[in-house]
Structure 1
Amino acid sequence: MPLTSTVLFGVPQQEISNLLMDRIINSSTTSIVSGFVTPGGLAAISGPIKTRPRCLKTLVIGAATYPGFRALDELIAAGVPVNHLHVHLGHSAETGGRKNPFARYHPMLHSKIYYMEFRDGKASAFIGSHNMTSFALTGLNGEAAVMLEGPTNSPEFRKVRDHIDAARSQAVTYSPGMKEAYAWWAREFIDGLRAEIHLPQDWTVIRTILLFVSAARSNRPKPGDHIYFEIPAGIEQIESLKTETHLFLFDNLPSDPWEAIHDARSAVAQYNCKTLGAENRQGNRELTAHWRIEATPNPVLKSVPSAIYRPRTPNGMQQVRVEVSAANVEVFEYQFEREAKGWDPDYSHDHKVFPSQEIENEVALLEAQGDPKSPRAWKLVKGLIPRQGSAKEKDEAALMLASPDSGSFILVSLRRRRKDLFPQENDS
């Protein structure tokens, strides 16, 4: 009989707990390796194990919550030999630091294998992304796996058993008296991961005008030159001397503003400019400017030979004039929205997931009956929106016209931070 494989499944959210229990019930031995375990995940498949506790030959886990380790105690109470249970503590390294003398965020066991052998000489293995958690096994997480079935002596099953044996050999035998230590070790990993997120706290709230412009190689401003351009009317706080303008010149503009921001360092020329004035009422009929930026369809830098320019400012735009102060720009990251105190999920009303079809049917029935106590459905999050109550800019509507999503290459950012302040990225 050849080895067969089945891809599980065509959609990410699909429960496999029933498939697993069906195989565990009929198995002579079951071995499991899981990177993370919760009480709900163990409860989803432990029924047949507690009925025949010695069928669980090996369980190796990488981490668990404290209640998850208490669930292992319940397996021991049901008759599973304690030396069949193992905890893989991963790898760490000395840091030499006082506060954190070891690396908290470290390489860890991440395997997910459910392997069953049967008395007829056949075996079955589920290999994929499913940790032993309720979300994973009951179809709430997005997961993927392959189910292998065939003769126990298949070469591929020998590799599966070798992997399980290696994971077990690297692990320690579970000790009920060490639950708190194991849970503390898992928390240290999570705290270390939280530190690796590096959510920036060093933004400077300052408005910066960004100009991404194409220009001929012969057209290069010099310090002291004046440049004229236009931004949407209604944008406030464009103040003389306080608002910087960063000009980036390209031979050919990138395809969109976000790409231009990403490629700013590859611009053929960069200029830092100070604001001389902004006229929201389109009042200047004649002004001094050595250069002007023609904004449509894509911004182009053009010289003003006489240095006297008479603008024809379109409705809805305001005039800005800046002076080139330096032929270089510090490396910044720019943000175009006010800092939010948090974000709320934006739910899709078309996609919900439930632990099982039975619960989905129950929810549909109770919702049809208007029962407010119907079981909770998990809704797909299609985006994140600033938490309601977060302060907004008074000129928010005008700022939207000068944001990258508008398609404009003449932008106004609200916050920035120096990129040389970025922490070193950990690629682990």
Structure 2
Amino acid sequence: MRVEHLARAAVLLGLAACANVQAPPGGPEDKQAPRLLATRPDTMASLQGWTGPVVFVFDEELAEQGVEDAVSLSPVRGRVAVDKEGDQIVIRSRAGWERGQIYQAEVAAGIKDRFGNARTEPIRLVFSTGPAIPDTRASGAVVERITGNPGQQTRVDAVRLRDSLTYTTRTDSVGRFEFRQVPEGEYRVIAYRDANRNGRPDPFEARDTARLTFATGQAPTARLATLLPDTTPPVVRSATITQGWVEVRTDDYLDPEQPLSAAQVAVIGPDSVPVAIAEVRVGAPPAPRDTTDAVDADSAAPAGAAGTTRQPPRADSAGAAAAPPRGPLPAQALFVRPSSPLQPDTVYVVRVTAVRNINGLVGSGQARLRTPEAAPAPAPRVGTDSAAAGSGTPARPGTARPAPADPAPAPGRPRASLPARGALVPARD
């Protein structure tokens, strides 16, 4: 009987083990980003007394990371709770939904599913708790002032001047932003890097502002360049010679669009003699053009030759349309071109007056400049002078007269060692 019980227990254990074996995963690999299936409430709906949360429903479960940072709600009244519940994003206003408002909930591009597939387009949901939803629109671009690069994922707030009603959005991968269905009025638009993610611009965050009018039938635009705030004027640090220009370094980035004149810079030499100035500019001077080795393959070929059909350069029209325009970039150096070369190995004093940094603050200063020593004269080429000496024909520049070769020894006779050229050889008797 005991043997029978043991055998039955073994069979049950075997069946349990078989039940735990899972089939290998099958089916196609998921390479699709999550798709939006529905929203609650419906977009552009007009609701009285709405009390439920705002819900975005997707076709698959979302990843946890990045959901909360991707969601924004406007206008903001109190705290907002954002939760990811399986395939849904749920937004709750702690203070409830006020009557007479136009609400906008936005999910920025970049949210992912569990397999890492990310959405490339944002989602906007607009609904009203009273007033009609206006057909307003405003757009713009954000760049980083120092580098000129697009301000990606920069927070942009539109604050109505008369009552501080605030709507918010984010820039896309090329720094573009857009507001739509925002109540009419005069707005102050603020672009800033929300480094601490508190939903407001702080004194230590790079930002820029503009003023736009939101009105039906109009589509204003703005270009903003984010920049860290500064409260001090530029200070001159040093002066050196760079390719014949006087490079004056400062501790701030200078405004490249400020008007500059030769009267704003003085280069004082020995005995207090000023040097005439030909040009002053922010940033490095243009590089000298070297056309000696440049060859135009098309122009070098005769017209009509096979394979030399001349084509106009193709512009990246898609990129030009998407990327924000770039202006001149700031630099921490002022470049000064003297009217004549400075004396070598000489001490000068460089004075700068009323130069403006990119924050609009004006400063002056001076620095000591010592020019480098004169370069030594180049050594003559071998053979240009000595080879021509003693001959009636001058040597061609850059060539040397070949030395006469030693005669080959006769066959069968050992070659005697020859004295060095120019050595004295004793006479034979």
Scaled by the length of structure 1, the TM-score of the pair is 0.21
Which structure has the higher relative contact order (CA within 8 Å, separation 6+)? 1
* Structure number with bigger Rg: 2
Scaled by the length of structure 2, the TM-score of the pair is 0.21
Name the structure with the higher helix share. 1
